[in-house]
A and B are shown apart, each in its own frame.
Chain A
Amino acid sequence: MRPSPISQLRLLVPIKRCIDYAVKIRVNGSQTGVDTNVKHSMNPFDEIAVEEAIRLRERLKDQVKSIKVVTIGPAKAVETLRTALAMGADSAIHVEVPETLVPEPIGVAKTLRAIIEQEGGVDMVIMGKQAIDDDAGQTGQMLAGLLSWPQATFASKIDVQADLKSIEVTREIDGGLENMKCRLPAIITTDLRLNEPRYASLPNIMKAKKKPIQKLTPADLKIDLAPRLETLKVTEPPKRQGGGRVDNVVELIEKLRVAGIVAS
């Protein structure tokens, strides 16, 4: 599958377009989901994954042959790909799905497997540990299972060994840090403290407009993304009852008495 011995790494970074974390989430009128007619941006954990891929290239120079980003999403997800390209990725794949279709982790993992098999020779998949919209946190692990590759989840530090055949990954766990080593190819999922993503510079934003984006459909990859789960209803958490102000202690005690908290 992978040419051996490897002298150059090919990185694949799957990213997702999510509702931006600064947006206040509201349930839609029909209670089938949340209002998506709001500002979107790249899932913050995926942004960290893109940043890490670029930093690996900055460290390893020519030893990183390519950084390819991939997204599965509606037409507007192209903007998210452009952001990743502006940060420094080389090329992109867009698996376009209708806006109404929200793929589930297993569907996404199978799509990614199909892409990796089609591409051939991916050495490292770096992706967010979870997306901030559904918080499933499953795709990386499922992909590792489907491919039978090693996985290093919730990475807070990544070191590639000099021979480019294995990596050392640090994970933050209860009570300390866990260091693990695994051979390539492997799946890495990123934790919050791995890095701080950069701002895309204007010259790079301009260059990104000319970088190639390959369009695919689930049918091209022979994947069925139909959801297996059925959402019955989405509701907002109950509203917190606001407190009131009292002018003096007497009034406070009276209120507490009425509420039955203090004896009269």
Chain B
Amino acid sequence: MLTILRQNIWRVAKRDFSRAWAHTSSVHSVNEQDVEHFTKILSSPSSVISTLSPSFSSSSDLENFNADWMGKYKGHATTVLKPRTTEEVSKILKYCWERQIHVVPQGGNTGLVGGSVPIQDELVISLSNLSKVRSFDPVSGILVADAGCVLESLSEHIAPHGFIMPLDLGAKGSCQIGGNVATNAGGLRLLRYGSLHGTVLGLEVVLPDGTVLDQLSTMRKDNTGYDLKQLFIGSEGTIGIITGVSILTPPAPKSTNNVVLALPSFSNVIPVFKATRQHLSEVLSAFEYFDRTAYDLALKHGHAAPFPAEEVEGAECYVLLETSGGKKEHDDEKINTLLETILSDEDSLILTGTLSQSPSQFASLWAIREGLTEAVSKEGKAYKYDISVPVSSFAEVVGTVRARCEEKGLISRGLVKHVIGYGHVGDGNLHLNVIATEYNDEVAQTLEPFVYEVVASHRGSISAEHGIGVMKTHALKYSKDAISRQWMRKIKDLFDSKGIMNPGKVLE
């Protein structure tokens, strides 16, 4: 039974992929001579993992590189290279450029749209071994690091100097800074510190033909013509491989606190958000949203409930707000005024809420929100839509999609278990998750392009922070018009005229 199911998934997956991209005749698969060559140009024998001779790794050694963590996308790469230096990356790409071998750059492989896994048998270049911090200036807070540095280890590196990374993600323990930049990852601190387009000061990139583009600037201001590095931020490995990142890190806040509020109705989110911005102003660092179903899932999968069940009966959704400031007394006073305002409001904006009383409670409250991705993956197979829509339509969008699933009988037949919404109110970014029992053709067809049409009707974005990857290439048109897509294609061709870089991703 399992095998049949798995075969079905494979068939679905293959159909999806072949629509997106197919081998052209001029492209070569990696062969044994290639592997031999790679073994020669790389300094360490452990940098080559291949099922081909002379290396002979088993295909299970390649499993983690060939599939994403959700088990949704799967490729058949025979060879993975783990270079240790920029020069090695350059040598590899130069060779692949000449031989016309397709490559997939891979960081922590924590993406959600299949951008970092091969579609067929492309060569995987993992940046995991490029993991040294190159420099950190404790005065300016400018950090220069190899692309393969894990986000959390960078946080730990700069913490003793009193700095934090300008981005924070649920996947911080595995994701790598190069991948973060290549996918323009957003995350929980974006509201406060802005996107990577602002915080990244410079990049070192190996271009598809092996040329090293050194733009590893450590200057905050550099107004000298075209800002090429911006093209690579969010390019998802389609025009080059990022090997080094220079990034501006902000001073760590001296005081942080958070509050979770249970709201009786979704319509209260906006008045609460308004009041929060007004009262907390510059110390507000996050304003997160999760609906009732998401909260219940978090509790089901292991989080201790912050509220007794009877106190939150009838709560439609929750918000988590965080403050980061320089002085505890100052922040406390602001939070206090906000809470007094909200509690004394005649319209009773909230059912109840809690203010963390210790660093451990602070972490536990965050864990509810940050653990949602994991709770969802424990519950079933998720169709994840990461969309930008006006905050006022968050609940409506989730409701519309749930109604569609009901109408098609997906819920009554048990194909879809839950439709949930959570996300970053501060950035207008909603994570719509449809949790199915299995990845299934019928569910996929019910959801797509339906979800994208809903997003387009709100003039939203079909990918707020997850990128396009392989999942959304066909849907790019809902957010980018023909002229924009045409110019994106021209840029792709300019850097990668042979089309060897991450084929089938971003552009069809």
Interface of A with B (CB < 8 Å)?
20-23, 39, 41-42, 44, 83, 86, 196, 198-203, 205-206, 247-248
Whether B360 contacts A22 by the Cβ 8 Å rule is yes
- Known contacts A20-B360, A39-B359; decide if A202 and B307 are in contact (CB<8 Å): no
Q: Which of B9-17, B349-357, B451-459 contacts A (4 or more CB under 8 A)?
A: B349-357
CA A21 to CA B359, docked complex, whole Å = 8
Task: Indicate the member of A22, A39, A83, A199 with the most B CB atoms within 10 Å.
Answer: A199
Known A21-B360, A205-B355: A199·B306 in contact at CB below 8 Å: yes
Complex contacts, B355 vs chain A, CB 8 Å: 200, 202, 205
- A203/B352 in contact, CB under 8 A: yes
* A39, A44, A202, A206: residue with the most chain B Cβ atoms closer than 10 Å: A202
13 contacts between A and B (CB under 8 A): A21-B360, A22-B363, A41-B360, A44-B360, A200-B355, A201-B311, A201-B352, A202-B350, A202-B352, A202-B355, A205-B355, A206-B340, A247-B44
Q: Mark B285-321, 1 if CB is under 8 A from A, else 0.
A: 0000000000000000000101110010000000000
Q: Chain A contacts of B307 at CB under 8 A?
A: 199, 201
**Identity of the chain A residue whose Cβ is nearest the Cβ of B358 in the assembled complex:** A41
CB closest chain-A residue, reference B304: A196
Chain A residues near B194 (CB-CB < 8 A):
none
Cβ contacts under 8 Å, B391 to chain A = none
For the complex, give the distance between the alpha carbons of A20 and B259 in Å.
19
- Whether A202 lies near B363 (C-beta < 8 A) is no
A203–B357 CB distance below 8 A: no
| Complex CA distance for A196 and B360, rounded to whole angstroms | 13
Annotate B357-389 by CB proximity to A: 1 below 8 A, 0 otherwise: 111110100000000000000000000000000
- How many residues in B have their beta carbons less than 8 Å from beta carbons of A? 25
Q: How far is the CA of A203 from the CA of B356 in the complex (A)?
A: 13
Residues of chain B with a CB closer than 8 A to A199's CB: 306-307, 354, 356-357, 361
- Chain A residues, CB < 8 A from B356: 199
- In the A-B complex, list the 8 residue pairs whose CB atoms are closest, starting with the nearest: A41-B358, A202-B353, A199-B354, A22-B359, A20-B359, A83-B357, A199-B306, A39-B359
Question: A247 contacts B45, CB within 8 Å?
Answer: yes
B353 touches A42 (CB 8 A): no
Given A20-B360, A21-B360, A42-B358, A202 and B343 contact (CB-CB distance below 8 Å): yes
Q: Is the CB of B343 within 8 A of A206?
A: yes
A196–B364 Cα gap in the complex (Å)? 13
Indicate the member of B259, B358, B363 with the most A CB atoms within 10 Å: B358
Give the shortest distance, in Å, between B241 (CB) and chain A (any CB).
23
Cβ of B358 and Cβ of A20 under 8 Å apart? yes
- Give the residues in chain B near A203, CB-CB below 8 Å: 343, 352
Contact residue among B261, B354, B359, B361 (Cβ-Cβ distance under 8 Å from A23): B359
Q: Is B169 an interface residue (CB 8 A)?
A: no
Q: Which of A44, A198, A201 contacts B353 (CB 8 A)?
A: A201
B7 within 8 A of A: no
Asked if B339 lies at the interface with its beta carbon under 8 angstroms from chain A, I say yes
Q: Could you say which residues of chain A place their CB within 8 Å of the CB of B354?
A: 199-202, 205
* B46 at interface by CB-CB < 8 Å: yes
- Per-residue CB proximity of B20-58 to A under 8 Å, as 1/0? 000000000000000000000000111000000000000
Across the two chains, which residue of chain A brings its CB closest to B365? Answer: A199
Q: How far is the CA of A42 from the CA of B359 in the complex (A)?
A: 11
> B50 → chain A, closest Cβ, in Å?
16
Q: Answer whether A41 and B311 are a contact pair too, CB < 8 Å, given A201-B354, A206-B339, A206-B340.
A: no
Q: How far is the CA of A198 from the CA of B354 in the complex (A)?
A: 10
- A202 and B359 within 8 A (CB): no
Contacts of A20 in B (CB 8 A): 358-360
Given contacts A201-B307, A202-B339, A202-B352, contact A86 B357 (CB under 8 A): yes
Given pairs A22-B363, A200-B354, 10 additional interface contacts (CB within 8 A): A20-B360, A22-B359, A22-B360, A86-B357, A201-B311, A201-B353, A202-B339, A203-B343, A205-B354, A247-B44
Chain A, Cβ-Cβ closest to B344? A206
Closest to B360 in A: A22
Question: Could you tell me the distance between the alpha carbons of A22 and B339 in the complex, rounded to whole angstroms?
Answer: 26
Contact A248 B45 (CB under 8 A): yes
Whether the Cβ atoms of B343 and A41 lie closer than 8 Å is no
Shortest distance in angstroms between A248's beta carbon and chain B's nearest beta carbon? Answer: 6
Nearest opposing residue in chain B for A205, CB measure: B355
Residues on A with beta carbons closer than 8 Å to the beta carbon of B304 = 196
Whether B357 and A200, one on each chain, are in contact in the complex, defined by CB atoms closer than 8 angstroms, is yes
| Chain A residues, Cβ within 8 Å of B311 | 201
How far is A83 from B332 in the complex, measured between Cα atoms in Å?
Answer: 14
Closest to A202 in B: B353
Q: Which residues of A contact B306 (CB under 8 A)?
A: 199
Query: How many angstroms between the C-alpha atoms of A196 and B308 in the bound complex?
Result: 12
| Chain A residues, CB < 8 A from B353 | 201-202
Which residue of A has the minimal Cβ distance to B352?
Answer: A201
Residues of B with C-beta under 8 A to A248: 45-46
For A202, list chain B residues within 8 Å (CB).
Answer: 259, 261, 339, 343, 350, 352-355
A248's nearest neighbour on chain B, judged by CB, is: B45
In the complex the two chains form, what is the Cα distance from A214 to B299 in whole Å?
Answer: 39
CA distance A83 to B360 in the complex (A): 14
CB-CB < 8 A to B359: which residues of A?
20, 22-23, 39, 41
Shortest Cβ distance from residue B157 to the other chain A in the assembled complex, whole angstroms: 14
Q: A199-B306, A203-B343 are in contact. Are A42 and B357 (CB under 8 A)?
A: yes
Complex Cα gap A196–B361 (Å):
12
Residue numbers in A under 8 Å from B259 (CB-CB): 202
Closest to A84 in B: B357
Closest to A206 in B: B343
A247-B343 Cα distance, complex, nearest whole Å: 62
Q: What are the residues of chain A within 8 A of B361 when measuring CB–CB?
A: 41, 199
Q: 0/1 per residue, B102-135, Cβ < 8 Å to A?
A: 0000000000000000000000000000000000
Complex: A199 Cα to B362 Cα, angstroms: 11
Which residue of A has the minimal Cβ distance to B47?
A: A247
Q: How far is the CA of A153 from the CA of B248 in the complex (A)?
A: 53
